Structure 1
Amino acid sequence: MKSQPLKTIKWGILGLGNIANKFAKDLLTIEDAQLQAVASRSIDKANEFGKTYHAIQCYDSYEALAKDPNIDAVYIATPHSFHKEHAILCLKHGKAVLCEKPFGMNAEEVKEMIAVAKENNVLLMEALWTYFLPHYQFALTELKNETYGKLLKVEADFGFTRPFNTASRLFDKAVGGGSLLDIGIYPIFATLSTLGEPDEIEATSTTFENGADSSCDMLFKYANGTEAILKSSLIEETPTACVFTCENGVITLNTQFHAPSTVTISQNGKEDTIDYTGNTIGYNFETIHFNQLLRDGKKESDIMTYDFSLKLIKTLDKVRALIQLEY
């Protein structure tokens, strides 16, 4: 008996920057998904983006996209400071929302977003794509099964250099620019998803002339003696790796650990490397998960849960308080 085809999920993309391009490119690789509409404040930009990724409709208004009755789900890729506003706009129009990380600027914003999703009985999920990547899921399984004994230490960094430019979102403190929210979230995510919330946090930072954080060094301490040494930087090229040191071996997610990468297992003086790079950028994995949640009528992810998103943003808030970073 021939199986029934899956319901095609019709997507809208709100905000058409760099990450939106990556998401749209990978969306084209998913058979049961379609780019229904895109929106930008510039109709020319919307039309150009729509033509590139075969969108059916292009808008110069975010509200017009939110009202489009043909859209099932919206991917929000606007700057951090607009996530709450745009997510709530779409949720109130009954659209399922996949919102780029960080979910919001602080825990209060995230709580409000979740409350609106529940009030409107609509699916909402933070788009922290790393959680869904095969190499990361492999590492999580190995750590959960204690294949190499108990996890003793996490070391994770994310650093690169760009010329300082106040016109760039990356350096604009007003929209959440700086190293912590933009890339520091990944090392923190790696720690929370493996060791859980720390009992104590130490953090120091450096800043650009406009007050945005240029780097952040963090130490997470746990009552059982485990620790996490974390770093984010916009002024230093770092390995951008994640190392899980266990009692009887080491699992290393190699360079660009937040994206599809290779994983090296070190044990008894031997190393074995597994290649998890593939034919896509990697955004398809979170999208496929989200599509299935929508088909199944689910209102919350069982992987990227509300509880985890709240723990993540609360931890970011604690670090910001320690380094006296206010938006």
Structure 2
Amino acid sequence: MSGSTTTPGSAASLVGPYLGAQFTALLTADDRLREGDESVVHAGRVAARRARSVLRVYGPLFDTPAATHLDRELRWWAGTLSPVRDLQVLQDRLDALVAGLDEELVVGPVRTRIDVELGHDRLQHWAAVVAALTSERHRALVDHLERWSTEPPWTAKASRAESTLTPMVRRADRTVAERLRHAHRSDDVEDMHRARKAAKRARYAAEVVSSVESTGATKAARRYRRLQALLGEHQDSVVSAQLLRRLADVADQAPGESSFTFGLLHEAEQRRARETEVKAQRLARRLFT
């Protein structure tokens, strides 16, 4: 089915180039990671997520065993990169929170304590990335990416018209709506996080078809981006609050330190988490009811 990628108007003619772009981004990021460049961790993780979204939302276009295997390996690689990226985001967030306080509210070596705690964690997680880059598993993943780039394992459905993709995008829409409704009923943080992941997947699915369904698909991608931003802010606030609680406990036991500032920021992050959850639920109701 390799010829279906070049057949104008086929489903593969849209999905193939998008997927290939993600593979190129992954391989480019790999080269820079081997040089010690942590700045590309985010680009690599996003490319892996986009590729996995394509494999899942547009699964009927691909040989199932091959797609399942690649999805599993991309999940492993994204999971290896995630802790480093999460700490980068957390560092920037806490730096901004502290910078936003009046100086009299910064009691003790707050910035140093944040840098020490996060720096230690980041070194450990970066070491895991370096080790993974030289592993047999990662070398096999690179081989798969290069093979998929030249010869994707298409099924017969890949040669069908672009309109074949529409019900697949709609199915991703329904998944977002279902998970948001469930999260609203359960009021559970993990359910909110699962809804966020579904929103990302639907957003990337909409990006694939945006060139031919310019109005509808572009609007879908935009609405998911807004929802994803709110759910992401909620998740970041929750994670930040958890770390601030830990830092407060450490500061309480350390000579010359105080938990005051960490407690102040912890309360602010909890409040922000509640506010963004309400905003996300309101947006979800407008989008899906």
Q: Would you call these one fold, judging by a TM-score over 0.5?
A: no
| Structure with more relative contact order (C-alpha pairs < 8 Å, separation 6 or more) | 2
Work out which of the two has the higher radius of gyration on C-alpha atoms and give 1 or 2. Answer: 2
Larger relative strand fraction? 1
TM-score if structure 1 supplies the norm length?
0.24
- Relative to the length of structure 2, the TM-score reads 0.26
Greater helix fraction, Structure 1 or Structure 2: 2
